[in-house]
Amino acid sequence: MLVFRDISTLQNHLRNLKNNNKIIGFVPTMGALHKGHLSLVNKSISQNDSTVVSIFINPTQFNNVDDLKTYPSDINKDLELLRSISDKIIVFNPESDELYSGDIKPDQFNFNELDRYMEGEFRGNHFAGVATVVSKLFSLIKADYAYFGEKDFQQLRIIENLIKEKKFKIKLIRCETIRSEDGLALSSRNNKLNFSSKKIATNLFKALNFAKEKIDVLCIDEIQQKISDNLSNFKEIELEYFVVADEKNLKPIKHKQAEKCRAFIAAYISGIRLIDNLKLY
Ligand code: AMP
């Protein structure tokens, strides 16, 4: 398996592949890989001649220094996992200086209001940081397809919008959320939870399912209230938001509409912030 740490050798290698008309898939990650990430990698492998996986903890998307410092990381384990899938994967694992020359700060973007609510509201500048690093990676890798998880649905919509606005010649492939048997969405941050907190965290998925069950019989305010009341019974859970929003423009809705919608949730479980979402219809 090839592991590149600098841009120029990666680009030399990719140029060769492109000259041979190879189709390239790209999976951006921050490492601490789990089966959710691997499902994206496997999808890319099945649909492309070559797959590039980037592993880079992007400092500009963290709005909290401690969160960045304590973000789980184990590059050797990640490489072992990727190698176990295919030794043909191309890994890009740069240092910060390689991607950010000079100041480590996000660029400015117009996300057409997709960043107005939910993560955009509670994590200032988070999406500008994400879009900054994703733009850099898209520009230097020039892949044909990029794989993003629905686990981070708002991020996925923002990147779809970015591709359109910046006219990147790449197509985003949406990948479904991978969950553990009890419904907890896999996340690198789950590594920070102990056994009992992981169990309690399954209440987020239960809340989303409750919304899906009740969307035809209760109004959205009532659903929100019942979820908030129920979660307040757990001292380990601090709900940040529960929102039902239009799937396309991500605007919160108060009444059922004809267009597709999703429920979104963010909460601290024993001090660890988790997010999840579910399509309602
Ligand atoms: P991250 O390393 O958290 O930045 O995630 C990298 C990519 O993996 C993003 O496109 C995520 O949406 C995706 N991803 C993370 N967790 C999951 C999951 N449980 N199921 C599917 N995709 C996921």
Secondary structure element (H or E) that encloses residue 210, with its range: helix 195-214
pLDDT of 91-132, one tens digit each? 999 999 999 988 899 999 999 999 999 999 999 999 999 999
% of the chain exceeding 70 in pLDDT = 100
Where are the domain boundaries for CATH 3.30.1300.10 in the chain?
A: 188-279
Closest C-alpha to 5, from 79, 103, 60, 63: 79
Ligand 1 binding pocket mutation candidate from 126, 151, 273 (most atoms within 8 A of CB): 151
Write out the catalytic residue numbers: 37
pLDDT at 140: 98
Instruction: For residue 97, report the distance from its CA to the centre of ligand 1, in Å.
Output: 24
Q: What is the distance between the alpha carbons of residues 130 and 97, in angstroms, rounded to a whole number?
A: 17
Bridge partners (DSSP) of residue 20 are none
**CA 153, CA 132: separation in Å to the nearest integer?**
18
**pTM for the whole thing?**
0.98
Strand partners, 279: 262
Predicted pLDDT at 102 = 85
Q: How far is the CA of 218 from the centre of ligand 1 (A)?
A: 32
* Residue 271, Cβ density class (10 Å: 0-12 exposed, 13-18 middle, ≥19 buried): exposed
Pocket of ligand 1 (CB under 6 A): 29-30, 36-37, 39-40, 148-149, 151-152, 175, 177-178, 185-188
* pLDDT(28) > 90: yes
Enumerate residues 6+ apart whose C-beta is below 8 A from 86.
1, 45, 51
Mean pLDDT, all residues of the chain: 97
Cα 255 to middle of ligand 1, angstroms: 30
Q: What was the pLDDT predicted at 152? A: 98
Domain 2-175, CATH: 3.40.50.620
As a whole number of angstroms, the distance between CA 206 and CA 120 comes to 24
Could you read off the pLDDT of 178-232 as tens digits, one per residue? 999 999 999 999 999 999 999 999 999 999 999 999 999 999 999 999 999 999 9
> In this model, does residue 10 exceed pLDDT 90?
yes
Q: pLDDT (tens digit, 9 = 90+) per residue, 52-99?
A: 999 999 999 999 999 999 999 999 999 999 999 999 999 999 999 999
Paired residues of 92 in beta bridges:
4, 54
- Is residue 47 pLDDT above 90, yes or no? yes
The pLDDT assigned to 125 comes to 94
Comma-separated ranges of CATH 3.40.50.620 domains in the chain: 2-175
Sign of the Cα pseudo-torsion (15, 17, 21, 24, in order): negative
Q: Is the pLDDT of residue 12 over 90?
A: yes
Determine the Cα–Cα distance for residues 196 and 266; give it in Å rounded to an integer: 19
pLDDT of residue 136: 98
**Is the alpha carbon torsion for 205, 127, 139, 11 positive or negative?**
negative
- Tokens encoding 158: 């923002």
Instruction: Tell me the Cα Rg of the chain.
Output: 19
pLDDT at 34: 98
The closest residue, in CA terms, to atom 8 on ligand 1 is 37
> CA 3 to CA 90: how far, in whole Å?
6
- 3-class secondary structure per residue, 118-152: CHHHHCCCHHHHHHHHHHHHHHHHCCCEEEEEHHH
Average pLDDT over residues 157-186: 98
Atom nearest to 149 CA in ligand 1: 12
Give the pLDDT confidence score for residue 49 in this predicted structure.
98
Q: What is the Cα–Cα distance from 174 to 270, expressed in whole angstroms?
A: 30
Distance 222 CA to ligand 1 centre (A): 31
188-279 maps to which CATH number? Answer: 3.30.1300.10
